[in-house]
Chain A
């Protein structure tokens, strides 16, 4: 299996090239910031009509990760839906998502975009504590063993910036997994200030690779 293995709070984890995080001991797969239904939300608000394919794109990637890893638990770290109304997926995608959810524990963590329960199967939680690790949408200063998303970190090395994991001894911040998501430069505040010295950026992409989170500009 490709990916970047590392330890957080004495727990062995793997950052996958897709942007998902794998906890082998629990067979737990974590993804963050799917932003499903973004195009329909923008259209609903009178904005432009973006190509309505991002749900299918994102689910296809998630489907591939689930097929490969066969997780017992899936945790979606918030902003899974672009807003609560966006959880009203079309029939095809709703069925697809239901098929992915079936047969495993599925946890929806609340995010700032989707702060309440949605009419989709699974547990809806504010946060989740599991063993030494805690899962929440937005990183909290002073926390340890924390897995979060929200910021959509990106990092640039030899070419255009790519979404990345940010990893230090206390926390992991996941890249955005959704198709229609942008990114924040990991070298600028607030991300720069959230991560401890010695933090690592692990790039997603065909060949995932880790490097020190330091500016070389």
Chain B
């Protein structure tokens, strides 16, 4: 309260510290006399559910105290009529998400909507600061600060390794931002869950631990069971339910479920009707579930900071120790969980610093600005550079983004007649005002795969059960069964953009492949794991895992911090090469792409690879006798240049960059209803640009993004530096204990090369012969 007048303030407290309410106290005090007209405080959270939760928690005291304050939330789930009303007559406190705020700012009447705004509260800013959603939000705040000078900013953050960086991110550059720390509370009570059955060799999901987990659920009031991906949560929930003989009330909650399904679970949770919830990151952030007394993390946490935040869900009261259990999903994760336990006890948080705000988000911001009103380029540049993540943006970079928005920014100046933005009387505006609709539909920086709604057939457009990825829907044939919201459904067909299903009493579903967020295990945690592998024996590890590591040491070798272990062996009629770089999933993926590219040019006929946090497994038609030349650092760096061009990771990155920057549209009104031959893959655009316009802005951004995100070449370099050429290449006659799990990994990447052509030709010849057509 003392700091209520500060232009920017960051409040750092462990989960459960009551910081959200603290953030609202000045607002309630200022609004208590009922004289304020219009919007006073804007609350931004990364989650729709959080906005709804805060509205409930805030409305109760305000009603009890009979304060003259109107509180409403506004998210993608809010009805159209309600949103219209909110624009015409904004409440005193509006709770919303970064995307909904960006949309509000794109309207011509934005100055009127936000007139009178005094404070903006950004909740869970530590989570937003890690993503483009936060970058977009900070651009929106720069806009708001221009509309209403004197706007005060408050950020609420969980415990993080570098609060000052978050403060710089939040405040209006160059305004100061004070950081307030709350007491970090007692040490958590955390352990690995003991199970009768050992974890499986590979895979995720923790199904083996269901009896032990049910037992824990019985012994606690309310348990949150976290999974790292939605698919794993679904599968786990299904099997948990089959094993749930006491019919304990257990729910499931994740981002792919329909709003109705999520709200039902949230309401049941709040009223204390559920004994457990199987959930994903959708419950990671500050929703106050009150009575949770146990958190179970299924699967390795990958990142200690997130684990600590999840653990904080339990005993959401200050000064009570949180209780948590870790459930490794497979043998390797036992090692990882053990390392994470040590890190939590040592309060050793991890985090990788982020670079400046990406330019694709800026392009979107420029288009949004043009939707709202004609703008002056100098003014917009000055405004944008007040946003923390863009404070170092050069004028040249800004101009390139503006040029892209206006003309496409192509070397071939083809769009002089059909510019998107035109300069009239010195101000930039949309050439065709109708294009504002498409720009608004495209707002946001979350570019998950295209999702399709799932509904029961013959229910007159019944309630959607949830959503699945388009790619998954395309892989279904009628009669296939899959899990959604814990039910088994049968795929009946695709109607327009809806997956139609019926209920299926069967017990063995084909699995729904939602691509969950795949995080890389952090550098800090990896270091701890490698240190553990060096120990002569592992008394702290369960015997099954200790034996497995011992067997690897006997049959081959254990990876170590300053040497690089490479194994090659035949299996399943293919040659395999396994590189234990321990560089994290993304870097190991890049290593897979680089190495297969080199193998292709050396005629070693690679067919594909798969990467995990600790290794890359490559398979192909020919054996690799010596991997040292393949792993030469200078060659790899050279290779990176050529390779960066044509690979799948770059194309995937390009797709999201192009979508965010507005080069392609994700939701074109009415366009996707007719046949699919009208739409073409963004890979084609990527290839075309690369050939004709290699320095184009979109390719520059793609490269930058890939380097810092999916490519993560820095971690490969760090690994090679550490190793300094000490490569142990072992030729073995069969699969090794440590490599075996990789065979069962998802996310195999095919290599398009000579070997693929040979295989296609062989397959075609065989099928033609079988069909009697050859």
In-complex Cβ contact of B693 among A39, A46, A51, A183 (8 A): A51
Q: Is B420 at the interface (CB under 8 A from chain A)?
A: yes
Q: Is B760 in contact with A157, judged by CB distance below 8 angstroms?
A: yes
Residues of B contacting A179 in the complex (Cβ-Cβ under 8 angstroms):
684, 688
Q: Is A212 in contact with B773, judged by CB distance below 8 angstroms?
A: yes
A-B contact count (CB 8 A): 135
Q: Is B408 at the interface (CB under 8 A from chain A)?
A: yes
Given contacts A47-B438, A54-B688, A215-B477, contact A158 B760 (CB under 8 A): yes
Q: Is B679 in contact with A48, judged by CB distance below 8 angstroms?
A: no
Q: Is A151 in contact with B414, judged by CB distance below 8 angstroms?
A: no
The size bracket of the interface on A is: 35 or more
Given contacts A49-B407, A158-B759, A159-B750, contact A57 B773 (CB under 8 A): no
Q: Is B354 at the interface (CB under 8 A from chain A)?
A: no
Please, how many angstroms separate the alpha-carbon atoms of A210 and B675 in the complex? 25
B449 to chain A, nearest CB (A): 15
Q: Is B435 at the interface (CB under 8 A from chain A)?
A: yes
Q: Is A200 in contact with B756, judged by CB distance below 8 angstroms?
A: no
In-complex Cβ contact of A184 among B675, B693, B765 (8 A): B675
In-complex Cβ contact of A176 among B677, B696, B750, B760 (8 A): B677
**B431, closest chain A residue (CB):** A46
Please, how many angstroms separate the alpha-carbon atoms of A14 and B753 in the complex? 25
Given contacts A203-B760, A207-B757, contact A48 B664 (CB under 8 A): yes
Interface size, chain B (Cβ < 8 Å): 52
Q: Is B763 in contact with A157, judged by CB distance below 8 angstroms?
A: yes
Residues of B contacting A160 in the complex (Cβ-Cβ under 8 angstroms):
750
Q: Is A51 in contact with B685, judged by CB distance below 8 angstroms?
A: yes
Residues of B contacting A48 in the complex (Cβ-Cβ under 8 angstroms):
420, 438, 662-665
Q: Is B767 at the interface (CB under 8 A from chain A)?
A: yes
In-complex Cβ contact of A182 among B679, B761, B763 (8 A): B679
Q: Is A207 in contact with B773, judged by CB distance below 8 angstroms?
A: no
**A49, closest chain B residue (CB):** B408
Interface string of A85-112 (1 = CB under 8 A from B): 0000010000000000000000000000
**A162, closest chain B residue (CB):** B760
Q: Is B414 in contact with A211, judged by CB distance below 8 angstroms?
A: no
In-complex Cβ contact of B767 among A39, A159, A198, A211 (8 A): A211
Q: Is B410 at the interface (CB under 8 A from chain A)?
A: yes
Q: Is B764 in contact with A157, judged by CB distance below 8 angstroms?
A: yes
Given contacts A47-B435, A179-B684, A210-B768, contact A159 B752 (CB under 8 A): yes
Interface string of B681-707 (1 = CB under 8 A from A): 100110011011100100000000000
Q: Is B432 at the interface (CB under 8 A from chain A)?
A: yes
Q: Is A40 at the interface (CB under 8 A from chain B)?
A: yes
B681 to chain A, nearest CB (A): 7
A167 to chain B, nearest CB (A): 11
Q: Is A207 in contact with B760, judged by CB distance below 8 angstroms?
A: yes
B736 to chain A, nearest CB (A): 28
Q: Is B756 in contact with A51, judged by CB distance below 8 angstroms?
A: no
Q: Is A181 in contact with B680, judged by CB distance below 8 angstroms?
A: yes
Interface string of B425-442 (1 = CB under 8 A from A): 000000110110010000
Q: Is A207 in contact with B761, judged by CB distance below 8 angstroms?
A: yes
In-complex Cβ contact of B677 among A44, A45, A52, A151 (8 A): A151
Identify which of residues 149-183 in chain A touch chain B, using a CB-to-CB cut-off of 8 Å.
Answer: 151-152, 157-160, 176, 179-183
Q: Is B688 in contact with A46, judged by CB distance below 8 angstroms?
A: no
Interface string of A126-156 (1 = CB under 8 A from B): 0000000000000000000000000110000
In-complex Cβ contact of A51 among B408, B434, B752 (8 A): B408
Residues of A contacting B415 in the complex (Cβ-Cβ under 8 angstroms):
40, 43, 49, 52
In-complex Cβ contact of B434 among A39, A46, A185 (8 A): A46
Q: Is B418 at the interface (CB under 8 A from chain A)?
A: yes
Q: Is B764 in contact with A211, judged by CB distance below 8 angstroms?
A: yes
B749 to chain A, nearest CB (A): 11
Q: Is B242 at the interface (CB under 8 A from chain A)?
A: no
Please, how many angstroms separate the alpha-carbon atoms of A159 and B755 in the complex? 12
Given contacts A176-B677, A180-B684, A211-B768, contact A51 B763 (CB under 8 A): no
Please, how many angstroms separate the alpha-carbon atoms of A151 and B677 in the complex? 7
Residues of B contacting A151 in the complex (Cβ-Cβ under 8 angstroms):
675, 677
Given contacts A53-B688, A159-B752, A210-B764, contact A43 B771 (CB under 8 A): no
Interface string of A9-49 (1 = CB under 8 A from B): 00000000000000000000000000000011001111111
Nearest first, the 7 closest Cβ-Cβ pairs linking A and B are A49-B408, A52-B414, A46-B432, A182-B680, A43-B418, A152-B677, A46-B435
18 contacts between A and B (CB under 8 A): A40-B414, A46-B434, A47-B435, A48-B665, A49-B420, A51-B685, A51-B688, A53-B691, A151-B675, A151-B677, A159-B750, A179-B688, A180-B685, A181-B677, A182-B676, A182-B677, A184-B677, A210-B773
Chain B interface residues (CB < 8 Å from chain A): 407-408, 410, 412, 414-415, 417-420, 431-432, 434-435, 438, 474-475, 477, 662-665, 668, 675-681, 684-685, 688-689, 691-693, 696, 750, 752, 756-757, 759-761, 763-765, 767-768, 771, 773
